[in-house]
């Protein structure tokens, strides 16, 4: 099935999967429980990165799992620097807030005041860019279609390409929420034009240096390479399952030629520096309470829905955990996450440098540990060796409502396989367990057959749950 029935892309939010296992009595120390979670994930090749979990600003768990550089086998440590991907957006938003406090811009200014080349977008404001309500289309798709990929693109190129092609808005500004990398890239441009500094220099002078974030910087490793000690290289998995640097895909791959763009990404940091950032947000060192009301609250859009996004942070009020602000990131082999429980002063930061089909971010488990909740337990499966007659009872073609592909189930060399009936889809080998259960651990597939009803309960990861029914023969 090209290794997965559900296609994914690094440009979209990283899927969060649930990890279930037995840990015995929950009376164990939180540190031991957390280490059990991450050690299990690491051993299953589902986590390679750094973890920092804090309560009231004090780390209760901090540990590194895995490798920073596959070629040298250099290990990660708590001071390793990672690219933050979209977790960078909170720093871009803070840059705009600081310029507002300096009296250099207003949130309700039209973006054309600072980017006159885009004056035809005459209803979009700075605030629309901040809370993803602009309606702007994705710049990455525009560049994939039109850009000369032998050249690096930078922020001014986004402005020029939008001015040249004038792509239509996807909706009227303020009418809807739709996550937009374009909006934050334009915010990066506004910071540079208003401050008359580079994006990196402005953030360093106004955020990183004042907060003592000495290992945090804006870094474009391909566009402007430099030597950074203790840096984590980002890896993806190729079709053979081997971990590779994305540069192996060539200079025309989008993570290469878009490496010059800032604002929607390109801040690099460590877990310890991000804890300093978290602590500062509980103080008035950078901003006051009125500013924080904007940063950490969402808006009601024209369609009557809540956006769930403030200024650079996803926000929600949880009946169980109180006010939560968080953000994920996924780009160029990096998977990043930060979550702040603002009513209870709990924080967790996860920085990974492997983006594979197995990579997970165990948010639910961390929350449960922090609040002394019982973790879910999955009973171990008992392996069996069915006869060919038993295996043949499962074979056939199966369909699921509202799912575009059918599944073919067949036996080959005394083993059960499934294959999505579509061009380019490869067979997936299944392992048999009692009670008509078959799995493929690599692709996180679990299938429970009901031969009498001729159905399959199909699960892949946490996100895909389907019921397939056998077609009439």
The verdict on residue 43 lying in a domain is no
Residue that is last in its domain, among 344, 359, 374? 359
Q: Residue length, the chain? A: 473
pLDDT of residue 381: 86
The verdict on residue 216 lying in a domain is yes
Burial letters for 106-134: b for 16+ Cβ neighbours within 10 Å, e otherwise?
A: ebeebbbebbeebeebeebbbbbbbbbbb
Whole-number Cα distances in Å, 400 to 353, 415, 420, 450, 454: 36, 23, 12, 15, 12
In this structure, the answer to whether residues 335 and 410 fall within a common structural domain is no
Residue that is last in its domain, among 359, 374, 399? 359
The verdict on residue 452 lying in a domain is yes
Whole-angstrom Cα distance, residue 99 to residue 261?
Answer: 20
Identify whether the C-beta of residue 92 lies closer than 8 Å to the C-beta of residue 181.
Answer: no
Residue that is last in its domain, among 312, 342, 359? 359
Q: What is the CATH number of the domain that holds 320?
A: 3.40.710.10
Whole-angstrom Cα distance, residue 296 to residue 205?
Answer: 23
pLDDT of residue 108: 98
The verdict on residue 377 lying in a domain is no
Other beta carbons less than 10 A from residue 168's beta carbon = 9
Residue partners of 137: CB distance under 8 A and separation at least 6: 167, 168, 169, 170, 182
The verdict on residue 319 lying in a domain is yes
In this structure, the answer to whether residues 334 and 434 fall within a common structural domain is no
Beta 235-237 vs 243-245: how paired, if at all?
antiparallel
The verdict on residue 181 lying in a domain is yes
Residue partners of 371: CB distance under 8 A and separation at least 6: 320, 321
The tens-digit pLDDT sequence of the chain (473 residues) is 333 333 333 333 333 333 333 333 333 489 999 999 999 999 999 999 999 999 999 999 999 999 999 999 999 999 999 999 999 999 999 999 999 999 999 999 999 999 999 999 999 999 999 999 999 999 999 999 999 999 999 999 999 999 999 999 999 999 999 999 999 999 999 999 999 999 999 999 999 999 999 999 999 999 999 999 999 999 998 877 789 999 999 999 999 999 999 999 999 999 999 999 999 999 999 999 999 999 999 999 999 999 999 999 999 999 999 999 999 999 999 999 999 999 999 999 999 999 998 899 999 999 999 999 988 766 788 999 999 999 999 999 999 987 888 999 999 999 999 999 987 788 999 999 999 999 998 888 999 999 999 999 999 876 688 999 999 86
pLDDT of residue 462: 67
pLDDT of residue 402: 79
The verdict on residue 408 lying in a domain is yes
In this structure, the answer to whether residues 237 and 326 fall within a common structural domain is yes
In this structure, the answer to whether residues 222 and 181 fall within a common structural domain is yes
In this structure, the answer to whether residues 338 and 450 fall within a common structural domain is no
pLDDT of residue 202: 98
In this structure, the answer to whether residues 316 and 397 fall within a common structural domain is no
In this structure, the answer to whether residues 259 and 169 fall within a common structural domain is yes
Identify whether the C-beta of residue 339 lies closer than 8 Å to the C-beta of residue 165.
Answer: no
Specify the DSSP class assigned to residue 173.
T
Identify whether the C-beta of residue 112 lies closer than 8 Å to the C-beta of residue 125.
Answer: no
Domain ranges, residue 236: 82-359
Active site residues: 86
Identify whether the C-beta of residue 274 lies closer than 8 Å to the C-beta of residue 338.
Answer: yes
Q: What is the CATH number of the domain that holds 417?
A: 2.40.128.600
Tokens at 195, concatenated: 């401050």
In this structure, the answer to whether residues 129 and 271 fall within a common structural domain is yes
Does the predicted TM-score (pTM) go above 0.85? no
Number of domains in the chain: 2
Other beta carbons less than 10 A from residue 202's beta carbon = 20
DSSP string covering 240-293? TS-EEEGGGG-TTSHHHHTTB--SSS-EEE-HHHHHHHHHHTTSSSS--HHHHH
In this structure, the answer to whether residues 425 and 327 fall within a common structural domain is no
In this structure, the answer to whether residues 326 and 192 fall within a common structural domain is yes
Q: Where are the alpha helices (DSSP H) in 326-452?
A: 363-370, 388-392
Name the CA dihedral angle for 362, 368, 372, 373, rounded to a multiple of 10 degrees: -130
The verdict on residue 439 lying in a domain is yes
In this structure, the answer to whether residues 421 and 294 fall within a common structural domain is no
Whole-number Cα distances in Å, 184 to 92, 188, 248: 7, 6, 28
How many CA within 13 A on the CB side of residue 441? 9
In this structure, the answer to whether residues 169 and 258 fall within a common structural domain is yes
């Amino acid at each position: 099935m090209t290794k997965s029935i559900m296609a994914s892309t690094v440009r979209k939010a990283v899927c969060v999967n649930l990890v279930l296992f037995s840990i015995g009595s929950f009376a164990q120390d939180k540190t031991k429980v957390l280490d059990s979670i991450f050690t299990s994930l690491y051993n299953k090749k589902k986590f390679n990165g750094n973890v920092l979990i804090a309560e009231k600003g004090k780390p209760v768990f901090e540990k590194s799992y895995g490798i920073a550089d596959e070629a040298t086998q250099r290990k990660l440590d708590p001071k390793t620097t990672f690219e933050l991907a979209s977790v960078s957006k909170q720093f871009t938003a803070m840059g705009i807030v600081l310029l507002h406090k300096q009296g250099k811009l207003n949130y309700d200014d039209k973006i054309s005041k600072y980017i006159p080349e885009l004056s035809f977008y005459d209803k979009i404001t700075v605030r629309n860019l901040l809370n993803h309500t602009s309606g702007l289309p994705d710049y990455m798709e525009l560049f994939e279609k039109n850009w000369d990929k032998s050249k690096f693109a930078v922020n001014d190129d986004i402005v020029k390409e939008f001015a040249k092609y004038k792509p239509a808005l996807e909706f009227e500004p303020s009418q809807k929420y739709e996550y937009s990398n374009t909006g934050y890239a334009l915010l990066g441009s506004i910071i540079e034009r208003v401050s008359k500094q580079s994006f990196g220099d402005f953030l360093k002078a106004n955020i990183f240096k004042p907060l003592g974030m000495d290992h945090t910087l804006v870094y474009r490793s391909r566009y402007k390479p430099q030597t950074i000690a203790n840096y984590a290289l980002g890896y993806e998995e190729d079709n053979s399952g081997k971990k590779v640097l994305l540069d192996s895909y060539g200079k025309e791959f989008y993570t290469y030629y878009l490496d010059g763009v800032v604002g929607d990404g390109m801040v690099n940091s460590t877990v310890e520096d991000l804890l300093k950032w978290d602590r500062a947000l509980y103080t008035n060192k950078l901003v006051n309470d009125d500013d924080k009301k904007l940063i950490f609250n969402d808006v009601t859009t024209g369609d009557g829905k809540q956006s769930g996004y403030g200024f650079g942070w996803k926000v929600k009020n949880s009946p169980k955990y109180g006010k939560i602000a968080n953000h994920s990131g996924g780009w160029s082999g990096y998977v990043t996450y930060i979550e702040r429980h603002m009513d209870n002063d709990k924080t967790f930061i996860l920085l990974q440098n492997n983006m594979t089909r197995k990579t997970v971010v165990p948010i639910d488990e961390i929350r449960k540990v922090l609040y002394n909740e019982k973790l879910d337990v999955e009973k171990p499966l008992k392996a069996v060796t069915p006869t060919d007659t038993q295996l043949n009872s499962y074979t056939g073609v199966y369909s699921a409502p509202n799912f575009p592909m059918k599944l073919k189930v067949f036996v080959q060399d005394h083993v059960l396989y499934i294959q999505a009936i579509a061009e380019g889809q490869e067979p997936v080998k299944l392992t048999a367990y009692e009670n008509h259960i078959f799995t493929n651990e690599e692709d996180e597939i679990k299938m429970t057959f009901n031969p009498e009803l001729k159905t399959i309960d199909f699960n892949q990861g946490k996100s895909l749950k389907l019921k397939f029914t056998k077609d009439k023969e």
